[in-house]
Amino acid sequence: MKVKESSKNSLVNFMNSFSHIYVEKEVLNHRITLEILSKFPNSKIIEIKNYKDVFNRPKQNFIIQKKSPKLILAKKIDNYLYEGSPICEDFGETSFYYSSNIFNCIYDCEYCYLRGLYSSSNIVIFVNIEDFFEEIIKTTKDRRAYICISYDSDILAFENITGFVRKWIEFANRNKNLLIEIRTKSSNFRSIKNLEIPSNIIFAWTLSPQKIIDDFEHKTPSLTARLNDIKVAISKGLKVRISLEPIIKVKGFESIYGEFIDEVFTEIPSDAVRDVNIGVFRMSEEHIKRLRRLDKYSKVFGYDFKKENGVVSYFDEEYLKSFVKERLINYIDEKKIY
């Protein structure tokens, strides 16, 4: 079995790869820009007018660029809050949104929809987080809203660079009508473990069998590292969300996923789990086409797919999901499984 590097080492290596940092002129003196740049004293700083001039350039290759991505610091001027996609789990919440302070991820998962979403694997950090908060307050108007903030990146993995998770926690403390989910594959909860975390913040860990991590979730922490991070959160009295998504079809599926679920709940007490969501690998038809063009030999495409209403998944999607659910019921109340 391959040895997975820790999240900390992965982030250090990633930070060292930022030989160039592009900064929009308008945010050159923004407080968060200055804080981030202070962490990269050896990087070359290049002033730009608009992040799209770099990020949206034609003829970029996402996979090749992933070997040496650059950092882009920018100001977002609109679309601070998006309506949640019907493909995504809303956990029964009626007002479901997502928000993206960061485009792209430090990890390199072969199945990730970001590969089909962006032509660039450079990292864009929108430093004007205060504008996000202002727009959210205007949009929600004190009504209950569920907001996911880690769909277009792993915001907790970037915490040592941006400090954004700390700011979202402070924002949640001031706005109790909001329920904010921070989803991660990282083992970086320690970076904010000393904060007082309010009950309207949900930390959700995406977990996969080690076989899936090794084969598909490149540069991510091991299952053991993620479980240890969850234990740190639980030690603070938090109830965590576990996301078993995406479920990937592989040879020996039943034994791999069965043993994986047993391992998770041997390490994590069931009463410390808020809920669990299950999601089989699925993606829009257009995104799948882009992923195939980028890496047609990926084992992600080793099985036949079906298409329904523009969404692509495995032919036996329901069997895969029901197998995992039945195994989970040994540990978790069915009402907590989504």
Number of domains in the chain: 1
Instruction: For residue 31, give the nearest of 140, 134, 167, 141 by alpha carbon.
Output: 167
Condensed to tens digits (0 to 9), the pLDDT of residues 244-294 reads 999 999 999 999 999 999 999 999 999 999 999 999 999 989 889 988 888
What is residue 100's three-state secondary structure? coil
Phi/psi region, residue 205 (left: phi>0; alpha: psi -120 to 50; beta: rest), is beta
Tokens of 81: 């809050």
pLDDT value at residue 6 = 47
Tokens of 15: 């930070």
Residue 156's contacts (CB-CB under 8 Å, 6 or more residues apart) are 150, 165, 182, 184, 186, 188, 189, 191, 192, 203
Burial of 161: CB neighbours in 10 Å, binned 0-12, 13-18, 19+:
buried
Does 245 map to a domain?
Answer: yes
Q: Which residues pair with 280 in a beta bridge?
A: 247
Condensed to tens digits (0 to 9), the pLDDT of residues 153-166 reads 999 999 999 999 99
Domain span holding position 330: 76-103+129-336
Does 273 map to a domain?
Answer: yes
pLDDT value at residue 5 = 46
| Strand 273-280 relative to strand 145-148, pairing | unpaired
CA distance 185 to 155: 10
Residue 148: band (very low, low, confident or very high) from pLDDT cuts 50, 70, 90? very high
Phi/psi region, residue 59 (left: phi>0; alpha: psi -120 to 50; beta: rest), is left
Does 252 map to a domain?
Answer: yes
pLDDT value at residue 257 = 99
CATH (domain of 205)? 3.80.30.30
Residue 94: band (very low, low, confident or very high) from pLDDT cuts 50, 70, 90? confident
Distance between start and end Cα atoms, the chain: 32
3-state secondary structure 19-49: CEEEEEHHHCCCHHHHHHHCCCCCCEEEEEC
- Quickly list H helices, 182-222: 210-216
CA distance 151 to 182: 9
Does 271 map to a domain?
Answer: yes
Inter-helix orientation angle 253-267/223-235, to 10°:
30
Beta-strand ranges (E) seen in the chain are: 20-24, 44-48, 71-74, 82-83, 96-98, 102-103, 108-109, 123-126, 145-148, 178-184, 201-206, 217-218, 240-247, 273-280, 282-284, 305-308, 311-314
Inter-helix orientation angle 129-140/164-174, to 10°:
30
Does 89 map to a domain?
Answer: yes
Tell me the whole-structure pTM to 2 decimals.
Answer: 0.92
Residue 4: band (very low, low, confident or very high) from pLDDT cuts 50, 70, 90? very low
Does residue 237 contact residue 196 with C-beta atoms inside 8 Å?
A: no
Does 2 map to a domain?
Answer: no
Q: How far is CA 249 from CA 26, 64, 302, 305, in A?
A: 46, 26, 9, 11
Does 283 map to a domain?
Answer: yes
CA distance 135 to 97: 12
- The CB density around residue 2, as the number of other CB atoms within 10 Å, is 9
Residue 119: band (very low, low, confident or very high) from pLDDT cuts 50, 70, 90? confident
Does 300 map to a domain?
Answer: yes
pLDDT value at residue 142 = 83
